[in-house]
Amino acid sequence: MTGSPDSPQTVKQQVSEGFAATAPGYDTTGTEFFSVMGDHLVAHARIPAGAWVLDVGCGKGAVSIPATRAAGPSGRVTGIDLAPVMLAHAEERARRAGVANVSFRVGDAEDPGTHPGWEPGSFDVVLAGNVVQFLPRPAHAVWRWRTLLTPPGRLGVSWSVAEDPRWVPVIAAFDTRMPEGITGFAGMLRRPPFASVDTFEAMLAGCGFHAPATVLHRVTMTYRTPEHWWEAARSQGPWAVAWRHLPSERLQAAQHDAFARLDALRAPDGTLTRTLTFACTVAYKNQP
């Protein structure tokens, strides 16, 4: 690893290694989250037929695949991600979905424009599904995305706004045990400019975007058991960006606390529900 522990390069390398480690189980634990959010983001972005679309931090293609359908046969979608293993899954999913006009390549969401052949103004739409909160320099990324857009191009971003209040202590069981200097999961999601819709939209405006508009979505996930939740958490952001850094004794203590809290939240049939609030924010390179 190169660079200081909190340099953007090091943070990005850690985050992509974390997501690469989660890739086998990512989006396959039966909680129907990423595909639902991907569909919402694509619907809000109102992708014109024939559009050239860049999907940054594409993961397994939850946004890229519906975006390809929306752009139609004359459109073109490129998904980029720092984790090659995610891209291999995305390619396989696109093949199984029967969508053409989509390609995937390794690339940095924060600096996608460094790829050869991508001139400023190459894309009609830039999409970022649940990735902006994992970038060390979100505003830097947003500036870069704006450069890549052709007027009057649009940006569509989905991001996490609020945890289910009943689950806050469950997440805190892990976050409060993080080693010094490593941000917990909730802390990463709520840092500026993600404290509120207003602060996020103000950041977009500060980067030159116009008419930002946000729609909130509440997504309810059902877990069969606390163990099912844990399987999902280990295959997603909490593990990838935060909890995998917990030393094993602290991890065990956190899991013990969390499971005790989850037992108290179980419905009579033993299941657990968790309602997360997500935002889809769309903004324009020029005044629409």
Ligand X SMILES: C[S@@+](CC[C@H](N)C(=O)[O-])C[C@H]1O[C@@H](n2cnc3c(N)ncnc32)[C@H](O)[C@@H]1O
Q: Which one of residues 65, 70, 109, 178 is an interface residue with ligand X (CB under 6 A)?
A: 109
Site string for ligand X, 89-108 (x = CB under 6 A): -------------------x
C-alpha span between 104 and 277 (Å, rounded) = 29
Q: Which one of residues 51, 58, 186, 221 is an interface residue with ligand X (CB under 6 A)?
A: 58
Q: Which one of residues 81, 164, 175, 231 is an interface residue with ligand X (CB under 6 A)?
A: 81
**Cβ distance to ligand X smaller for residue 241 or 283:** 241
| # of chain residues touching ligand X (CB under 6 A) | 25
Cβ atoms of 282 and 212 within 8 Å: the answer is: yes
Site string for ligand X, 230-249 (x = CB under 6 A): -------x------------
We find the least distance from the C-beta atom of residue 241 to ligand X, in angstroms, to be: 8
Instruction: Quickly list DSSP for the chain.
Output: --S-TTSHHHHHHHHHHHHHHHTTTTT-SS---HHHHHHHHHHHHTPPTT-EEEEET-TTTTTHHHHHHHH-TT-EEEEEES-HHHHHHHHHHHHHHT--SEEEEE--TTSGGGSTT--TT-EEEEEEES-GGG-S-HHHHHHHHHHHEEEEEEEEEEEEEE--GGGHHHHHHHHTTPPTT---HHHHHHSTT-SSHHHHHHHHHHTT-EEEEEEEEEEEEEESSHHHHHHHHTTSHIIIIIGGGS-HHHHHHHHHHHHHHHHHH--TTS-EEEEEEEEEEEEESS--
Q: Interface residues for ligand X in 17-36 (CB under 6 A)? A: 19, 34
Q: Which one of residues 71, 86, 132, 186 is an interface residue with ligand X (CB under 6 A)?
A: 86
We find the least distance from the C-beta atom of residue 17 to ligand X, in angstroms, to be: 9
Q: Which one of residues 53, 59, 76, 233 is an interface residue with ligand X (CB under 6 A)?
A: 59
Q: Which one of residues 14, 29, 38, 40 is an interface residue with ligand X (CB under 6 A)?
A: 38
Non-local CB neighbours of 245 within 8 Å, separated by 6+ positions: 178, 179, 182
Q: Which one of residues 47, 99, 131, 132 is an interface residue with ligand X (CB under 6 A)?
A: 131
C-alpha span between 238 and 184 (Å, rounded) = 8
When asked if residue 126 is in the footprint of ligand X (CB under 6 A), the reply is no
CB-nearest residue to ligand X:
59
When asked if residue 62 is in the footprint of ligand X (CB under 6 A), the reply is yes
When asked if residue 83 is in the footprint of ligand X (CB under 6 A), the reply is yes
We find the least distance from the C-beta atom of residue 141 to ligand X, in angstroms, to be: 8
**Cβ distance to ligand X smaller for residue 203 or 265:** 203
Site residues (vs ligand X, CB under 6 A):
12, 15-16, 19, 34, 38, 57-59, 62-63, 80-83, 86, 108-110, 129-131, 134-135, 237
